[in-house]
Amino acid sequence: MTGSNSTSAGHSADVCIQLYVNGSVLAVSHLGRGYLRLRTPVDYPPMDAEIYLSIDGHERRWPVRLTEGISTTRLKTPIGPVSASANGSN
Q: What is the Cα–Cα distance from 6 to 36, expressed in whole angstroms?
A: 33
pTM (global) more than 0.75: yes
Contacting residues for 89 by C-beta, under 8 A, at least 6 apart: none
Helix (H, G, I), strand (E, B), or coil: what is residue 5?
helix
Residue 75 φ/ψ, nearest 5 degrees:
-70, -45
In this structure, are residues 77 and 66 in contact, taking their beta carbons and an 8 Å threshold?
A: yes
pLDDT band at 89 (very low <50, low <70, confident <90, very high): very low
pLDDT tens, residue by residue, 4-63 = 454 556 788 899 999 999 999 999 999 999 999 999 999 999 999 999 999 999 999 999
Tell me, what's the pLDDT at 10?
78
